[in-house]
Structure 1
Amino acid sequence: MTTEPLGPGEAERWLCAGLCLARLGGTSPEAMAEAVPWLLATHAELPALPPLGVVVDLGRLALGAPLESSRPVPDTVPSLRAAVRAYEDHLLARLAAEPRLEAVVNALARMPVELRPRGVAFLVARVLTRLGFTGGAAVNPGLARRVLEHPPAELLQTGHAALRERGAEVERLVESYESLGGAARRARVLLGDAEVFTLENLERLQGRARRLALEQAVEAAEALAEALPKRMRPRKPASGQTPSHLEDDAAFPQGGFSSVSNVGSLENLVTSELVYMEDDAGLDLFDLRYVEGELLYYTRDESLVVRRRRRVTFALLPGLTEARVKDAGLRWQRGVLVLGLVLSLVRRLSVWLGEEELRFRVVVVGEGLEAERGLCELLLREWLARGNAEVTVADRVETVLAQAAEDAKRARADVLLLGGQEVPPAPSQVGLSLLDVSQPVPRLLPSSSSEPPGEELWATWRGATLELARGLL
């Protein structure tokens, strides 16, 4: 479909006709007035607009509206009615069943009201991007704003008239809805972690460049995670276990009642034993059982929770400033892939080592990586909120290694240097690896360097991620 700007009259009829095809929440003037801010924000987000009814449907679905039973399509050509039905079945129904939709709804619900149109616009753009949709129409922004400023009842009247006239605007709508239905059937997924992450942090992502970097880092993490198995057996501990501090394990059950015995204090007495007490002042059965040691008491398990301590440090070296380049054959810059690798490893290690006292540390070494530091704080926000991760700065690599050596006194400590070219000397008790990204092919040192010659560049990143994960276990 051509993306040349539509003429004023044709654009107005196309916009209004698409608005009349909204499937969720009805097409009353009040409902349309609520959706106008979403439409204006979407036009600022996308160079070519989809039918406006699609924006309304996706916005209402993202704000928690239920998927309604099929509503009648306005009077128009049979081909458009069939295309809209296919769009309902393959896009709206599938999107309503997406497991991440609930997280998207919650993120938009927590968002300030004035920011929700921007959130809806972002979501619409991301869904259309995942579909590979190219059937939009280019409309002059000023013209679209003037049209949408008209009273909603007038917009709906113009749209219904255009649908009945069955002109060129209707043919464009047929192509758009057919394209949406077909793309939805072929798409592997409609919503991913990138959408959820960005919506949860949209208030903090003021610039488009920063938002795009966050989206791509999460996408890279999802793609790299495909190289990692769901489960992986950790290596046998090289040293004994250390009892964790009680205050560190307050969230775990410990010291509770574990059994019943004939020995204990009165505060732990089994309450059913009180039935042996009588009102008479004389000797009763309760007294006899007490003297004979036959009363039952709850006993407590006073053992400590024993878990292995693990400290994993990711050090972002100044050399990463040279990795802000995109190599042929890769979807993302090397620096974005490094951030995605950190996120994917944190996610999987949290699952694989969930029974251990696991802490992550991201250290930005030197200057020039302020943007990467901010993105790490957003990417690891979940672990930061739980106290399982921290993002700090250091002036030298030696400072990072010294902190790891201190951690190694009471835990297993591993350090991954990202962006260097040589492995510096480190204490023997610290596991040290270096990921060299100065060249298109990443090299993991001191492990094996890369995939065999002839492998695609993307395969080398997947292989390095898997090899690094095995080393950290």
Structure 2
Amino acid sequence: MADVDEEAEEYALGRERLVSSALAALYWSGAAADWHATARDALGWLAEAWGAGDEHLPLTLVHDLGLLLREGHAFRLASGRDLGAWPAAEQAARLAYEERVLGRWLLDPSVDAAHVALSGVPPARRDAFLVHAIRLALTEPTLGARLRLTGNAAHVRSLGEAVITETPTRFEDWAALDDAWLTLAADAHAAAVDALPAGPLFGPEDLWELNHFGELHSESQRLALRQLHGVAARIGPLHASVAGRLRRSAREIPVEAEEADRFPAGGFDALSHQGRFENLVRSEVAYVGEGGEGVDAFDIRYVVGELLYYTRDESPLLDAHRHVTVVVDDLAGLRQKHPELPVQALVLVAGLYLALHADLARAFSAQAASTTLRWRLTQPADVGIAAEEEVLLRTSLGTELRHHRVRLGTLDADAPWPAAPRLAQPLGSRPEIPRLGLPGGLGFALRHAAAFDHQPDVIGCRRVLGGGGAPEPAPGCGVVLLQ
């Protein structure tokens, strides 16, 4: 989170100054828009943002970002229309703003993703969505600006019509504005631009929040899920080269013939003219013996490459499905906020679980990987904590739960451990899983276990978080113990 610059100059806009300051801020807009029409929307967004406590947000950025999010690639830069009308002394600053800020936002995939998310919001809620997106993008960075103009939302609502009345349609129609206000607005605008960070405007946690805008009904739920997805984003995805290597070398687990009563339902993509005989479509054996003595129809289809095989993960006799059960222990202890950690340890654990599930899906495909998360209840306080965590994860993993790729539940302290799935035959000695520090080492340790375990659908039972030495893994246990 950005810190407030205590040494920055803050200029409070009183009621009598609001109209002049708002007109000067709109004067520096970089959007080729009908400002008389767009000023009404921008002032509405500004009033909502200021009323929510972000009274330092600058109108120029609120106006331009709101229009860009609403219009997407239809957004046009002011230089394409008004360059010839700009005073020569202002051209360099205006072009720099377009290049450094608006042009970058136009090419930013995260801004495009936010625009797409807006299209799924009901029209009555789109202004609220835009205000929320603007606050996510601009609130923290602009807190560090060396000059901030602050105001009152009530003044914006009461004086908005006066601003709109004096706002022109085109740049050539601007009436003469007070030079002092233009200079102050230019300085505040430059300070806000300088405070904007490099990189994507919206982070992964921002985009998740925007895509689920209608599902978040309380501020506490929003902040909790924001922390959770922020941790998962900082852990980061499994590298594409590692995922590809795992996919190519993944071992398949034989299934008994009498148990192979489930046939693929993946359409033509589930079939191939190349493959191993273990994956041969069963109906192909009907061609054996046809054609009399010697070469039969099966031989001919084999030579010309017309035999059909199931693709690797679609064979009814080979199961390449990976299922990992994660057990979280000592919930009350993990709720403690340690000074050296950015968030509660329980949030780190949940974020790691999200990253682990995403990595399994990325490496083995969403259809070939699933996970179970169990909260182990060892004391009465754990029951309420587990219920709260389950509500959050059900919101985050709604799609995965509906497709039965994720299961959530609790585990009593005296209950037996979840049964291990079928095991692939080991290829050699089991490598040791490194136990590293938090938070990045935690993710590496689990990934190392999932990726390089010689029993590839099993991660041994280990304590990978917390003090004390790590015990030896229980033989054949497909469980990760997070404590």
TM-score of the two chains, using structure 2 as the length reference: 0.68
Q: CA deviation at 1:355?
A: 8.4
Kindly report the root-mean-square deviation, in angstroms, between the aligned alpha carbons of the 2 structures.
3.9
- Of 398, 410, 424 in structure 2, the residue corresponding to residue 381 of structure 1 is 398
| CA shift for structure 1 position 74 | 11
Distance 1:54 1:252, change over 3 A: same
Pair 1:29-2:36 in alignment: yes
Runs of 4+, deviation exceeding 6 Å: 73-79, 159-163, 235-239, 243-246
The equivalent residue for 1:224 is 235
Distance 1:450 1:200 in 2: 34
Cα offset, 1:97, TM superposition? 0.9
Kept in 1: contact 2:334–2:346 (CA 8 A): yes
Q: How does 1:68-107 map to 2 (within 5 A)?
A: 68-69=76-77, 70=79, 71-72=81-82, 82-107=92-117
Matched letter for residue 22 of structure 1 = S
Alignment of 1:6-25 (within 5 A): 6-24=13-31
* Aligned-residue identity in percent: 20
Give the CA deviation at 1:357. Answer: 1.8
CA offset digits 1:335-386 (Å, max 9, x no partner): 3222221222222222122387211223344412333222212322343354
In structure 2, the partner of 1:210 is 221
Q: How does 1:271-310 map to 2 (within 5 A)?
A: 301=308, 303=310, 305=315, 306-310=318-322
Residue 198 of structure 1 and its aligned partner are, at CA, apart by 0.3
CA distance 1:30–1:380, change in 2 (3 Å) = same
Specify whether residues 28 and 4 from structure 1 end up closer, same or farther in structure 2 by C-alpha distance, changes over 3 A only: closer
Q: Which amino acid aligns with 1:144?
A: V
**Residues 78, 255 of structure 1: CA spacing in aligned structure 2 closer, same or farther, 3 A cutoff?**
closer
Matched with 1:166 is 179
Partner SS, residue 71 of structure 2 = coil
> Are 2:159 and 1:147 aligned?
yes
Are 1:39 and 2:46 matched, yes or no?
yes
For residues 414 and 83 of structure 2, the distance between their equivalents in structure 1, rounded to whole angstroms, comes to 68
Q: Distance in 1 between matches of 2:177 and 2:54?
A: 28
Deviation (angstroms), 1:131: 3.9
1:101 positional shift: 2.7
Partner residue in 1 for 2:255: 242
The answer to whether structure 1 residue 343 and structure 2 residue 350 are counterparts is no
Q: CA 1:35 to 1:350, structure 2 compared with 1: closer, same or farther past 3 Å?
A: same
Determine which of 444, 464, 480 is the counterpart of 1:466.
Answer: 444
SS at match of 2:10: coil
Shift of 1:162: 8.4
Name the CA distance, whole Å, in 2 between partners of 1:248 and 1:176. Answer: 65
Bigger shift: residues 201-210 or 352-361: 352-361
SS in structure 1 at match of 2:325:
strand
**Pair 1:331–1:252, CA change in 2 (3 A):** farther
Q: What do the CA deviations read for 1:255-280 (whole angstroms, capped 9, x no partner)?
A: 75849xxxxx9xxxxxxxxxxxxxxx
Contact 2:69/2:115 (8 A) holds in 1: yes
C-alpha contact 2:25 2:59 (8 A) present in aligned 1 = yes
> In structure 2, what is the equivalent of residue 440 of structure 1?
none
SS of 1:3 mapped into structure 2: strand
Find out whether 1:393 has 2:409 as its counterpart.
yes
Amino acid paired to 1:352: A
Number of the residue aligned with 1:123: 133
Residue 137 of structure 1: SS of its match in structure 2? strand
User: 1:10 Cα deviation (Å)?
Assistant: 2.0
Distance apart, 1:224 and its partner CA: 1.5
Distance across 1 between alignment mates of 2:84 and 2:12: 26
Q: Residue 181 of structure 1 aligns with which residue?
A: 193
- Counterparts of 2:166 and 2:375, CA distance in 1: 57
CA contact (8 A) 1:310 1:356 kept: no
Tell me, yes or no, if the aligned pair for 1:313 and 1:362 is still in contact at 8 Å: yes
The one-letter code of the counterpart of 1:47 is: D
Distance across 2 between alignment mates of 1:130 and 1:145: 24
The one-letter code sitting in structure 1 at the alignment partner of 2:405 is: N
Q: Which runs of 5+ in 2 are unaligned?
A: 1-7, 275-282, 284-296, 378-382, 425-431, 452-483
Shift in Å, 1:76: 8.5
- Provide the residue aligned with 1:191 in structure 2: 202
Give unpaired runs (5+ residues) of structure 1.
260-264, 266-292, 413-445, 452-459
More deviation in 55-64 or 127-136? Answer: 127-136
CA distance in 2, matches of 1:257, 1:409: 28
Closer, same or farther in 2 for the Cα pair 1:337/1:355, shift >3 Å? closer
Mark the CA change 1:141 to 1:336 in structure 2 (over 3 Å): closer, same or farther: same
* Equivalent residue in structure 2 for 1:57, among 44, 64, 81: 64
